[in-house]
Homo-oligomer: A and B are copies of this chain.
Amino acid sequence: MTLFSRVSQDCPAGLAAQRPRAATGRGQPTLGIIGGGQLARMTAMATLKLGHDVVVLERSADAPAATLATHALVGDWNDPAVLAELATRADVVTLENEFVDAAALATLERMGATVLPGSAMMGRVQDKYLQKVLLRDAGIPVAPFLPARTPDELHAAAARLGFPFVLKARRDGYDGRGNRTVRAAEDLHDAYASLGGGTRPLYAEAWCDFSVELATIVVRGRAGGTAVYPVVETVQADHVCRIVRAPAAVDAEAARTVERLATAAAVALGAVGCLGVECFLMRDGSVLVNELAPRVHNSGHYTIEACACSQFENHARAVLGLPLGATHLVAPAAVMVNLLGQSAGPARSAGLDLALAVPGASVHIYGKDRSAPGRKLGHVTALGATVAAAEAVASRCASEIRFGAAS
User: Separation in Å of the A102 CB from the closest CB of chain B?
Assistant: 21
A11 at the interface (CB under 8 A from B): yes
Q: What residues of B have a CB within 8 angstroms of the CB of A48 in the complex?
A: 45, 67-68, 367
Partner-binding segment picked from A19-27, A238-246, A271-279: A19-27
Encoded as 1 (CB less than 8 Å from any B CB) or 0, chain A from 78 to 97 comes to 01011001000000000000
Partner-binding segment picked from A116-124, A137-145, A184-192, A342-350: A342-350
The reply to whether A352 and B9 form a contact with Cβ atoms under 8 Å apart is no
Partner-binding segment picked from A206-214, A259-267, A288-296, A355-363: A355-363
List 26 A-B residue pairs with CB atoms under 8 Å apart, sorted by A's residue number: A1-B74, A1-B79, A1-B81, A1-B85, A2-B61, A2-B74, A3-B71, A4-B7, A4-B61, A4-B73, A6-B6, A6-B71, A25-B346, A26-B368, A27-B348, A28-B349, A48-B367, A50-B363, A50-B364, A51-B349, A51-B352, A51-B364, A53-B367, A67-B70, A308-B360, A308-B362
A75 at the interface (CB under 8 A from B): yes
Given A27-B406, A49-B365, A5 and B309 contact (CB-CB distance below 8 Å) = no
| A4, A81, A85, A346 — most chain B CB neighbours (10 Å) | A4
A194 at the interface (CB under 8 A from B): no
| Docked CA distance A293–B211 (Å) | 55
The reply to whether B25 and A369 form a contact with Cβ atoms under 8 Å apart is yes
A359 to B, closest residue via Cβ: B326
A57 to B, closest residue via Cβ: B1
User: Separation in Å of the A275 CB from the closest CB of chain B?
Assistant: 20
Partner-binding segment picked from A125-133, A151-159, A165-173, A317-325: A317-325
| Count of residues in A whose CB is under 8 Å from the partner chain | 79
Given A45-B45, A71-B4, A323 and B357 contact (CB-CB distance below 8 Å) = yes
Q: Chain A at the B interface: mostly helix, strand, loop or mixed?
A: loop
| Docked CA distance A67–B49 (Å) | 12
Encoded as 1 (CB less than 8 Å from any B CB) or 0, chain A from 356 to 386 comes to 1101101111111110000000100001000
Q: What residues of B have a CB within 8 angstroms of the CB of A28 in the complex?
A: 348-349, 352, 365
The reply to whether B51 and A67 form a contact with Cβ atoms under 8 Å apart is no
The reply to whether A323 and B14 form a contact with Cβ atoms under 8 Å apart is no
User: Separation in Å of the A164 CB from the closest CB of chain B?
Assistant: 40
A4 touches which of B74, B309, B347, B378 (Cβ 8 Å)? B74
| Docked CA distance A365–B317 (Å) | 14
A15 to B, closest residue via Cβ: B3
Given A1-B81, A3-B73, A352 and B25 contact (CB-CB distance below 8 Å) = no
The reply to whether A4 and B14 form a contact with Cβ atoms under 8 Å apart is no
| Docked CA distance A305–B44 (Å) | 18
The reply to whether B2 and A11 form a contact with Cβ atoms under 8 Å apart is yes
Q: What residues of B have a CB within 8 angstroms of the CB of A14 in the complex?
A: 3, 5, 7, 9
| Docked CA distance A44–B69 (Å) | 12
The reply to whether B49 and A3 form a contact with Cβ atoms under 8 Å apart is no
Q: What residues of B have a CB within 8 angstroms of the CB of A71 in the complex?
A: 3-7
Q: What residues of B have a CB within 8 angstroms of the CB of A45 in the complex?
A: 45, 48-49
| Docked CA distance A28–B375 (Å) | 19
User: Separation in Å of the A33 CB from the closest CB of chain B?
Assistant: 14
A202 at the interface (CB under 8 A from B): no
| Docked CA distance A331–B306 (Å) | 11
User: Separation in Å of the A163 CB from the closest CB of chain B?
Assistant: 44
- Kindly list 16 other residue pairs between chains A and B, CB separation below 8 angstroms, not including A5-B72, A7-B71: A1-B12, A1-B79, A2-B10, A3-B14, A3-B15, A4-B7, A6-B71, A7-B14, A9-B11, A26-B367, A27-B346, A27-B348, A50-B352, A50-B363, A322-B352, A330-B383
